[in-house]
Amino acid sequence: MYKIDLNSDLGESFGHYEIGFDAEIIKTVSSVNIACGVHAGDPMVMDRTVKMCTRCGTAVGAHPGFPDLQGFGRRQMQMNKGELKNYIIYQLGALSGFAKKNGTKLQHVKPHGALNNMMPYSEQYSREICEAILDFDPEIILVAPTNTMTLQMARDMGLRTISEVFADRAYQDDGYLLPRSFPEALLTDEDAAIERVIRMIKEGVVTSVSGKEIKIEAESVCIHSDSAIALRYAQKVRSALENSDIEIISMEKIWAKR
């Protein structure tokens, strides 16, 4: 039987501003990436989100990003050597405190937004992310996009890794995600996107925007949570995968079964 992790970015509310359908999506996915109060989230939201995860048995992960609350971490930033590493450690420390309070621990780290998009092209950023995890807790899994320099560097440095694919994003010929600035970057046909995910898991390939067949490694599928249809789509993806004899399990279990 095929196995896959489903992850989603949650804990993005802030103060009186409520974002997403966290309580319901947590019940649908197997791993959650929680904002750490820098690009989104705050201490109350972090605590509440971790608590909901522990009640549902959903694995907790950190979703660190650039210090860019106004831009939601989606604006590129150029950081001095060592600066990114410390920002990552700072955010891991914050979320791990709430994990400990709620009787759990961090399973993984998945960089957010512009940072996640920049790191596959930046040796400095990739290395500092890996070093931050190794210094903080080498048992934490790094989640990185499939086919990227970051993923290979993490493996070379001895980190535990999970290769991530996206349910609703288009891919380039080099196996990287097509930037959001392109109109075709986001897939709008839900059924076609789900069929593509099943093929990624079972066949290890995805068709690029130019029609080229790209080899990929699908160990976790990201389902975005910041749209009006996010909850319905997440439930639809889970149902389709289970009906295709694909078992949904956490990243930790994916790693253990290698």
pLDDT digit string, tens, across residues 111-128: 999 999 999 999 999 999
- Examine the pLDDT at 233 and tell me if it is beyond 90: no
Q: Which of 163, 161, 98, 100 is nearest to 133 (CA)?
A: 161
Please say if the pLDDT value at position 224 is more than 90. Answer: no
**Percent of the chain whose predicted confidence (pLDDT) is above 90:** 81
Domain assignment present for residue 157? The answer is: yes
Per-residue model confidence as pLDDT tens digits over 132-143: 999 999 999 999
Confidence of residue 253 (pLDDT cuts 50, 70, 90): very high
pLDDT at site 96: 98
The pLDDT-based confidence of 179 (bands split at 50, 70, 90) is confident
In a domain, 13, yes or no: yes
Please tell me the least confidently modeled range out of 96-100, 164-168, 184-188: 184-188
Owning domain of residue 49: 2-168+218-227+244-256
Question: Please, which pLDDT band fits residue 156 given cuts at 50, 70 and 90?
Answer: very high
Give the whole-angstrom CA distance, residue 226 versus residue 237: 16
Q: How many CB atoms neighbour CB 1 within 10 A? A: 5
What pLDDT sits at residue 58?
98
pLDDT band at 180 (very low <50, low <70, confident <90, very high): confident
**Token pair recorded at residue 50:** 């971790």
Which phi and psi (to 5°) does residue 221 adopt?
-110, 125
- Indicate the average pLDDT of the chain: 94
Looking up residue 28, the CATH number of its domain turns out to be: 3.20.20.370
Asked whether residue 227 carries a pLDDT value surpassing 80, the answer given is no
The token duo for 40 is 């989104």
Mean pLDDT within 53-71: 97
76 is a domain residue: yes
Task: Note whether residue 149 is domain-resident.
Answer: yes
Q: Is residue 103 part of a domain?
A: yes
Identify the three-state secondary structure at position 221.
strand
Q: ∠ at Cα 169 (54, 118), nearest 5°?
A: 80
pLDDT tens column, 167-176: 888 999 988 8
> CA 144 to CA 156: how far, in whole Å?
14
**Domain annotation covers residue 252:** yes
Contacts of 73 (CB under 8 A, 6+ apart): 38, 39, 40, 65, 66, 112, 113, 114, 115
| pLDDT given at position 228 | 59
Cβ contacts of residue 7 below 8 Å, gap of 6+?
Answer: 29, 30, 31, 32, 33, 61, 110, 143, 164, 220, 221, 222, 223, 251
Classify residue 159: in a domain, yes or no.
yes
- Residue-wise pLDDT for 45-60, tens only, equals 999 999 999 999 999 9
Gap between the Cα atoms of 129 and 111, Å rounded? 8
Q: Looking at residues 66-92, what average pLDDT do you find?
A: 96
Tell me if 181 is assigned to some domain: no
- Band of pLDDT at residue 226, cut at 50, 70 and 90: low
User: How many structural domains does the chain have?
Assistant: 1
